[in-house]
C-alpha cells in the first residue's frame, strides 16, 4: 500500500462573535455535529475552559484531529484540522469543516496555511 499525504489546514480567524469564543459549550455541539455529519470517527477529546474566558480543545479522530484555541479578548481563534488519506481521500472533508468553522464563528480568516503530509 502506498501512503497518500493528507491535507492539514491551519487558520487564524477573527470574529465579532466573542460570545462563541468565551466558553466551549457551543463549540462542542457544533464540532460533534461536524464529526457526525462527515462520518468521521471520534476516539476522544479534551476541552478546557479558562477562567475569565476562552477555551482550548483537541478532538482526536481515527483520521487524525481537529483543534481550537480561542482568545475572546483579541476577537480571534486558531484552528487546526488534519485528516489523513490512509483509507480514503479526505481533502474535501477537511476543507468543508474549515469552511463550516469560519461560518460558525462568522469569521474572517487572517492567516491560513495548507500543508500536505
Instruction: Decide if 87 contacts 107 (C-beta within 8 A).
Output: no
Query: What pLDDT is attached to residue 87?
Result: 86
Query: 115 vs 9, 43, 63, 84, CA distance in Å?
Result: 6, 23, 16, 12
Query: What pLDDT is attached to residue 1?
Result: 76
Taking alpha carbons only, the member of 16, 61, 89, 72 closest to residue 80 is 61
First-to-last C-alpha distance (Å) of the chain: 16
- Furthest C-alpha separation in the chain: 49
pLDDT, one tens digit per residue, over 77-110 is 999 999 999 889 999 999 999 999 999 999 999 9
Amino acid at each position: 500500500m502506498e501512503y497518500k499525504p493528507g491535507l492539514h489546514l491551519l487558520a487564524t480567524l477573527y470574529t465579532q462573535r466573542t460570545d462563541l469564543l468565551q466558553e466551549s459549550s457551543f463549540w462542542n455541539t457544533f464540532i460533534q455535529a461536524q464529526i457526525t455529519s462527515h462520518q468521521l470517527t471520534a476516539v476522544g477529546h479534551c476541552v478546557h475552559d479558562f477562567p475569565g474566558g476562552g477555551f482550548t480543545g483537541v478532538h482526536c479522530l481515527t483520521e487524525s484531529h481537529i483543534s481550537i484555541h480561542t482568545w475572546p479578548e483579541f476577537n480571534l481563534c486558531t484552528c487546526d484540522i488534519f485528516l489523513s488519506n490512509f483509507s480514503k481521500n479526505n481533502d474535501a472533508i477537511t476543507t468543508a469543516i474549515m469552511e463550516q468553522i469560519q461560518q460558525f464563528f462568522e469569521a474572517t480568516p487572517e492567516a491560513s496555511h495548507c500543508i500536505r503530509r
